Structure 1
Amino acid sequence: MEKAALKLSPLNLSKHKILNVSFLTGAKYWHQTIFCAYTLAHFSDGEIGIRLYSDGTLTDEHIGFINQVLPGIETISEQQVLQHLNLVLPQHTFPTLRHLRNWHPFFRRLIDIHTSPSWTIHMDSDMIFFGKPVQIIEAYQHKTAVYMKEQLADSYFVDSEDVLRDKYGINCIKKVNGGIVGYDNDKVDYTDLEEKAKLLLLHYPNAGPAQIEQTLMSYVLYHQTAVTLDEKLYRIFYDDKPNLDRTDVVHHYIFKAKLPYLTSEWKKVIL
């Protein structure tokens, strides 16, 4: 898959942008980022902006690989991120949020990407686009908060929605999958988010980073009245037999679906 990513014909990005997308990527994922961003750009006629953030392992070589296939990408360096965070989330005022960022790369989506100005959407790299993401483009243009809907029965929170709401005042949107999340960063109350993060770490010391991040992300989405992406078009696959319908916009591959994704699904990409 890495070799195939570098053999894709360069796709020049247009100066006219109908959508800007951010990716958190690194040494293990740069080739997946290429396939996701490339197919997204292909079905959007190249009219997208692509911004890369490091999970802590992204090197100049990886950036060069991505830029080779998608000339015109923007890379936000670690230095740029830290300078920005020192302005908007200084350590002495937001120690918990800064701690979360250092704890696990998961939180760089919430903190590095979503503290940038205005409406921002992040996408996981383990996805392939098969159609134009009209709903996402419209959300971007109208600054509507959107998210990919989880298909499993339960949300991956630190506790039940009822307990989080009634005991801690943390209202969450159910069934949020972090594969695609977009919202208006300017509307986030980071002082409040700092307090909620502190509550979660205090009362759920054994919760994993994914549970903490999912809870906080869903809390932010709740307060922006986020809407779900059409689950029939923006599909999540969990098993090893993903199928392609002609109306599909994107596939997100997790759990057992990782095997076909890494071995055969990427071959469906229009080269």
Structure 2
Amino acid sequence: MSIGRLIYKIFFKPTLQIRYYIRHFGLTGWYKLYQGEQQMKKAASDIPPVPLAKDHLLEVNYLTGAKYWHQTIFCAQSLARILQGRVKINIYSDGTLGQTHEAFIARAIPGVSIVAEKTVNEHLDKFLPIAQFPTLHYLRKWHPFFRRLIDIHSAPLWAIHLDSDMLFFDRPQQIIDAYQNKTAIYMQEHLSSSYFVDDEKTLKDKYDINCISHVNGGIIAYNGDIDYTDLEEKAKTLLKHYPNAGPAQVEQTLMSYVLFKQGATPLDKQRYPIFYDSKIEVEDSQIVRHYIFKAKLPYFNTEWKKILP
């Protein structure tokens, strides 16, 4: 390993997120964010439990790990409280979820289903054998993003996944309706351009990849009964023609392609808003809030406290 790569591995990569926050919030802002997240972790470790009922109105899935377990607890609990426990919750590991994290989650949400990695691997060996789908397996190892696409959805069933950095404040009737009718839905991106490997016209005209614009991966639902041979080929095409694209761009492109094929409809972006900045504009009509980029500051400092019992 070269000196440059060694320095990157030892210093730059582990401190990337810290340096990002310091650049945007300054040293004081970063420290407030850090302190807020530590408080959130402590609260998540001994939060009063919200038991799940046996009959459910909705079934949801989370992908989580060592960095996000506390966020998952707060998001899942906020939804479970609103639905009075009538939600089935499945937890998948991003590869870093340890037994201690699982114990915290199981304590906070009695009745939660934590899907063992061994179970996932055995299922994939049968449903998506590596000999037939080498690219999809490569993507899964490349970055945890793809476990949302592959682990959660690789079955001929309707499934919804929720990102952990969200909080529910009201009954998500549009999601419940989609679950009951088994229709595809997605959270709308508010930014002017979609986060794909290329613009939608180029993807369509050159590679026969039709995408729905402005898809955000915070909330995604569709039927897993899709043509995985086709998805394998589309993934191979993206990796070949966009070698410098990041995993988030590739995953968003493939996810949007699947949603297009199923005629997915968007969630109301006023009621299911995404916050990007450090200022949170609260409205009574908001059902869920998704906190990304600079919105992590109020999320870790004040927002999670709003759903405490």
TM-score, normalised to structure 1's length? Answer: 0.98
* Structure 2 residues not aligned, in runs of 5+: 1-39
Q: What is the DSSP-based 3-state SS (H/G/I as helix, E as strand, rest coil) of the residue aligned with 1:81?
A: helix
Offset, 1:116: 3.1
- Pick one of 5, 9, 19 that aligns with 2:58: 19
Aligned mates of 1:243, 1:265 — CA distance in 2: 12
In structure 2, the partner of 1:255 is 293
> How far apart, in 2, do the equivalents of 1:7 and 1:243 lie?
30
Give percent identity, aligned residues only: 60
2:227 matches 1:189: yes
Q: CA RMSD in A?
A: 0.8
Aligned-pair CA distance for 1:117: 3.8
**Aligned partner of 2:112 among 53, 64, 73:** 73
**Cα shift at 1:270:** 4.0
| Structure 1 stretches of 4+ moved >6 Å | none
User: Which secondary structure does the structure 2 equivalent of 1:234 belong to?
Assistant: coil
The reply to whether residue 109 of structure 1 matches residue 171 of structure 2 is no
Q: Distance in 1 between matches of 2:43 and 2:220?
A: 28
The letter of the residue matching 2:292 is: I
In terms of fraction of residues, the more helix-rich structure is 2
Partner in structure 2 of residue 36 of structure 1: 75
Q: Counterpart amino acid of 2:253?
A: T
For 1:64, the equivalent position in structure 2 comes to 103
Letter in 1 for 2:230: D
Deviation at 1:3, TM superposition (A): 1.0
Deviation at 1:10, TM superposition (A): 1.1
Q: How many residues align?
A: 270
Alignment of 1:221 with 2:259, yes or no, is yes
Match of 2:207 in 1: 168
Q: How far 1:131 moved relative to its partner?
A: 0.4
In structure 1, the residue corresponding to 2:56 is in which secondary structure? coil
Q: Which amino acid aligns with 1:140?
A: Y
Which structure has the larger Rg? 2
- Give CA deviations for 1:154-177 in whole Å, capped at 9, x if unaligned: 000101100000000000000000
5 Å matches for 1:230-241? 230-241=268-279
1:144 aligns with 2:177: no
Distance 1:270 1:129 in 2: 12
Alignment partner for residue 155 of structure 1, among 194, 200, 204?
194
Give the aligned residue type for 1:114: H
| Partners of 2:171 and 2:45 in 1: CA distance | 23
Amino acid in the other structure paired with 1:111: I
Per the alignment, residue 206 of structure 1 pairs with: 244
